[in-house]
Amino acid sequence: MPLPRGFHVRRLGRVLLTVAAVIAVAGVPLVAAAPASADTGPAGDAFYIPPNPLPAGSPGDVIWWRGSASPVGSARAWQVLYRSTTAAGTATAVSGTVLVPTAPFAGTRPVVAYAAGTQGWGDQCAPSKSIASNSFDEQFAVTNLLNRGWAVAVTDYPGLGTPGDETYNVGIPEGFAVLDSLRAATRLAPAALSPAAPMAIEGYSQGGAAAGWAAQQLPSYAPELRLAGIAAGGTPANLQAVARNINGTPFFAFLAGTAIGFNAAYPAAVALQSRLTPVGKAAVATLNGLCQLPALALFAGQRIENFTVGGVNPITVPAIAAVLNQNNLGTSRPTVPILQYHGLFDEVIPYSVENTLHNQWCAVGTRTQLRGYLAEHVLTQVVAQTDVTNYLSARLAGTPAPSNC
């Protein structure tokens, strides 16, 4: 049976990512670091099930932690379960990973939050699980940060790994989770990181939106964090524009997954089950257990109207449009400098979406630089890596940020 139309592009991208990963860690043995002693979290998947009720605390507080295998021999790793905040403003638990190089760092070691791109919708797809098994497809980017001597915090995002559906592509809780991963890293005792450390954020695709939301939320949600700069690329800043672009394409799974995510965050407004046909309900149930590549293959070429009652496109429903608009970037001013990077031939998220966001942030006074690359969606993340790490290094060193507003 032939692969779905366009699927070879995604597969090629994954091969390129794997090659980049090998290059990034050349000369560094992929061995498991010795787990930390005195773990405080339960064994197995019970680690991901938070206590009910959650213990009292503040966003970013570590609920429990345990030592984890590290895919980089020159770094130690811990899995963490930490407090964060939902789109409704209530407390929740989010899982993630903190990695710290074993080599000493001259001065205060910086801490960088890495916001991952789409991994999938089943709990087995959580970055903390794939990092521990050395199968994280964005490890090359994390390793590039570790090679600079920086500690790295990787959130799983709300609902991925932990109970419930992932709030996939819902920017508000994803931004909170990214900021709280930085707090959690500095509150993780065995990591020995300073809460006054200089900090940065890197994110691409889904992670680009999460990083952008963290930038917008920083002044009100986490003003104590010393965030020096953010690199956000391939950003789905306008969800309606992205939905129109990928409906009926090899990337339809991202659209269906976004419907799951918004239903998880805003169940009353979205009411997803009531809008789906029996075929649609079965499709959503299947997607909700898959990681990215199988999901793309299974749902390639589908249209959202094939699964809804009356063939209604949900983005036209006023209640759904309202919550989508709440999670579109560009409506408030980030106070931290930002590098935006995007493929000029991006077939998933049009370059125009990033360019519009750039203009919106410029208009409100954000110091932002937009770089375009002669590449499609996946390859752009690879070819931009040197620029991304150099940009963050300069911001962490205190060098004034460039802007092309």
Helices 385-396 and 139-146: angle between axes, nearest 10 degrees: 40
Residue pair 162/154 in contact by the 8 Å Cβ criterion? no
Output the six-digit token pair for 229: 């700069």
Average pLDDT over residues 322-337: 97
Q: Cα(73)–Cα(78) distance, rounded to whole angstroms?
A: 14
Residue pair 144/112 in contact by the 8 Å Cβ criterion? no
Range of lowest pLDDT (18-22, 136-140, 211-215, 282-286) = 18-22
Which class in CATH covers the domain with range 239-325? mainly alpha
Q: Cα(232)–Cα(93) distance, rounded to whole angstroms?
A: 25
Q: Cα(212)–Cα(172) distance, rounded to whole angstroms?
A: 10
Q: Cα(57)–Cα(55) distance, rounded to whole angstroms?
A: 6
Which class in CATH covers the domain with range 7-238+332-396? alpha beta
CA 104, distance to chain mean position in Å, is 28
pLDDT digits (tens, 9 = 90+) for 154-198: 999 999 999 999 999 999 999 999 999 999 999 999 999 999 999
Of all residues in the chain, the percent with pLDDT exceeding 90 is 90
Report pTM: 0.91
Pairing, β 111-115 against β 368-373 = unpaired
Q: In what order do the strands lie in the sheet with 111-115?
A: 62-68, 75-85, 91-101, 151-155, 111-115, 198-204, 226-233, 338-343, 368-373
Instruction: Give pLDDT, residue 38.
Output: 63
Instruction: Give pLDDT, residue 4.
Output: 32
Output the six-digit token pair for 377: 């969606």
Output the six-digit token pair for 211: 């990083």
pLDDT digits (tens, 9 = 90+) for 232-288: 999 999 999 999 999 999 999 999 999 999 999 999 999 999 999 999 999 999 999
Q: Cα(309)–Cα(244) distance, rounded to whole angstroms?
A: 19
Show me where the domains of the chain are located: 7-238+332-396, 239-325
Whether the per-residue pLDDT at 6 is higher than 90: the answer is: no
Residue pair 156/115 in contact by the 8 Å Cβ criterion? no
Instruction: Give pLDDT, residue 20.
Output: 38
**What 8-state DSSP symbol labels residue 34?**
P
Q: Cα(120)–Cα(388) distance, rounded to whole angstroms?
A: 24
Of all residues in the chain, the percent with pLDDT exceeding 70 is 91
Whether the per-residue pLDDT at 114 is higher than 90: the answer is: yes
Instruction: Give pLDDT, residue 300.
Output: 98
Q: Cα(193)–Cα(187) distance, rounded to whole angstroms?
A: 8
Whether the per-residue pLDDT at 203 is higher than 70: the answer is: yes
Average pLDDT over residues 29-58: 76
Torsional sign, CA 348, 352, 355, 360: negative
SS3 content of the chain, % helix, strand, coil (to 5): 45, 15, 40
- In single-letter form, the type of residue at position 144 comes to N
Average pLDDT over residues 47-64: 97
The confidence band for 39, taking pLDDT boundaries of 50, 70 and 90, is confident
Torsional sign, CA 12, 294, 134, 395: positive
The confidence band for 22, taking pLDDT boundaries of 50, 70 and 90, is very low
Q: In the predicted model, what is the mean pLDDT of the chain?
A: 92
Angle at 67 between CA 65 and CA 73, to 5 degrees: 140
Whether the per-residue pLDDT at 356 is higher than 80: the answer is: yes
